[in-house]
Amino acid sequence: MARTFFVGGNFKLNGSKASIKEIVERLNNADLAENVEVVLCPPAPYLDYTVSLLNRPQLAVGAQNTYLKASGAYTGENSVEQIQELGAKWVILGHSERRTLFHEDDKFVADKTKFALDQGAGVILCIGETLEEKKAGTTLEVVERQLTAVIAEVKDWSKVVIAYEPVWAIGTGLAATAEDAQDIHKSIRKFLAAKLGDKVAEETRILYGGSANGSNVASFKDKADVDGFLVGGASLKPEFVDIVNSRK
């Protein structure tokens, strides 16, 4: 069975009611491909507002982060139940900015992933190597280490989407070539098959992230193991529609 094309829009710490309304209305009114799932991830204060604007079943909302406890004395955190009550169905976990700026290690990301899945949320699980790791030739070692931590905690992968995001490409304007991304995605899928079985490996969607934009996504169209994109800055711009339609 073919994997449904998936495009996530990570707004990061950007946006206002006015800009988010413009983004969502553009998607609501666009001639979108039918065989694509789109998840918009605005800052937490705008989750409820974004959900209220959606009028197409293929559009959904996700949070950019959640904690691994349901409630308690965790100032500044968001619980899975809280984002779900606002209508969010997904959460991004393990993003490189969380790993580097907020020092979230592999085990912490794995624990958050397990908790979110146990609460019924879908998880966009981010993995990827730094420039130093890329230069050292340890890309696969890094992504396999990051995945191994999650594999130790998670048994049901049906609501996990993996986003391979080379850290050196995020926000830099640099991007892996479609051929390089395909090679790494294929290796990731092979690793999943070895650890979780062929069925999980074949059904799990693997996205490319890291400066994916309207001008470079077309080159990924025929790559068998690239199942979509996790988009940063370009998700705030009109070209996001072109990215959503890049397999149309």
Q: Which residues pair with 150 in a beta bridge?
A: none
Long-range contacts of 189-192, Cβ-Cβ distance < 8 Å, separation of 24 or more: 189/225, 191/140, 191/143, 191/144, 191/147, 192/147, 192/157
Residue 90 CA to residue 205 CA, distance in Å, equals 14
The CATH number for 65's domain is 3.20.20.70
> For 134-167, how does the pLDDT look when each residue is reduced to its tens digit (9 = 90+)?
999 999 999 999 999 999 999 999 999 999 999 9
Across the range 32-37, mean pLDDT stands at 95
Q: In terms of residue numbers, what domain contains 30? A: 5-244
Residues with Cβ within 8 Å of residue 82, at least 6 apart in sequence: none
Total of domains in the chain: 1
39 has a pLDDT exceeding 80: yes
Q: pTM of this prediction?
A: 0.97
Within 10 A of 127 (CB to CB), how many other CB atoms are there? 28
Residue 110 CA to residue 125 CA, distance in Å, equals 9
CB 91 within 8 A of CB 116: yes
Q: Give me the pLDDT at residue 210, please.
A: 82
Q: Give me the pLDDT at residue 1, please.
A: 57
Query: How confident is residue 15, by pLDDT bands cut at 50, 70 and 90?
Result: very high
In the residue annotation, 153 being an active-site residue is answered as no
Q: Tell me phi and psi for residue 5, to 5 degrees.
A: -60, 140
Catalytic residue among 37, 104, 165, 185: 165
CB 177 within 8 A of CB 199: no
Share above pLDDT 70 across residues of the chain, in percent, rounded to a whole number: 100
CB 173 within 8 A of CB 132: no
Residue 197 CA to residue 194 CA, distance in Å, equals 6
In the residue annotation, 165 being an active-site residue is answered as yes
Catalytic residue among 95, 104, 129, 185: 95
> For 85-127, how does the pLDDT look when each residue is reduced to its tens digit (9 = 90+)?
999 999 999 999 999 999 999 999 999 999 999 999 999 999 9
